[in-house]
A and B are shown apart, each in its own frame.
Chain A
Amino acid sequence: MTMSDLITKKLTEAFAPQSLVVTDESHLHAGHAGHRPGGESHFRVYIVSNAFTGKSRVERHRMINALLAPELEGSVHALAVSALAPGDATT
């Protein structure tokens, strides 16, 4: 399983998202600190879930960071997150 697949699986199981896109952007960071051979270091997550309704931005990120803590302590160097609740304006 790739890291993208693992992140997708964990987020899907935890938040039952209505929309979820996980993108491996490691290739955009080649040569940058934190990049490593083989990639799988930089990811972007776009997620829409009822779980985020009524939560602040910091709370939403904390929920995701807690879920993915093992990955963030391991090979995942950067995780860009857009966490929306249904009905949030998409900015």
Chain B
Amino acid sequence: MSIEQFIENEVKSNDVVLFMKGTPQFPQCGFSGQVVQILDHVGVPFKGLNVLESAELRDGIKVYSNWPTIPQLYVKGEFVGGCDIVREMFQAGELQQLFTEKGVVVAAS
């Protein structure tokens, strides 16, 4: 399987995927950590993929999305954005709205 097929499979078979540095339990970058905190706060289950474990994945995800930085959030196969965008959307209430529109179940807050 090519790295592109691997990424495609991950973002299509999981509702919410975060490509990040480190793991959701142990983020190894402040920007990745911020997105984990926001997703946890919203109460949405997500799959974290650690790009530090694979140079191929780290490079591949940047090409896949045409986006030069990590973290990258995908919802239902669609690229949402990086740390700044996720934070702005969260603060504006748009992130929660996106999950609702996409039919992603979030924990009641």
Binding site for B on A (CB under 8 A): 29, 32-33, 57-58, 61-62, 65, 69, 72-73, 78-82, 89, 91
A80 to B86, CA, bound (A): 12
Q: Are A80 and B92 CB-contacts (below 8 A) given A62-B66, A69-B68? A: no
Q: Which residue of the partner chain, among B29, B67, B88, contacts A82 with CB atoms under 8 Å?
A: B88
Interface size on B, residues (CB 8 A): 20
Which B residue sits closest to A89, measured CB to CB? B92
Once A and B bind, how many residue pairs between them come within 8 Å at the CB atom?
A: 41
Could you list 12 A-B pairs, sorted by A, with CB under 8 Å?
A: A32-B30, A57-B85, A57-B88, A58-B80, A62-B66, A65-B68, A69-B68, A72-B68, A72-B69, A78-B69, A91-B88, A91-B91
Query: Which residues of chain B in 55-97 are interfacial with respect to chain A, using CB atoms and an 8 Å cutoff?
Result: 66-69, 79-85, 88-89, 91-92
Give the chain B neighbours of A73 by CB distance below 8 A. Answer: 68
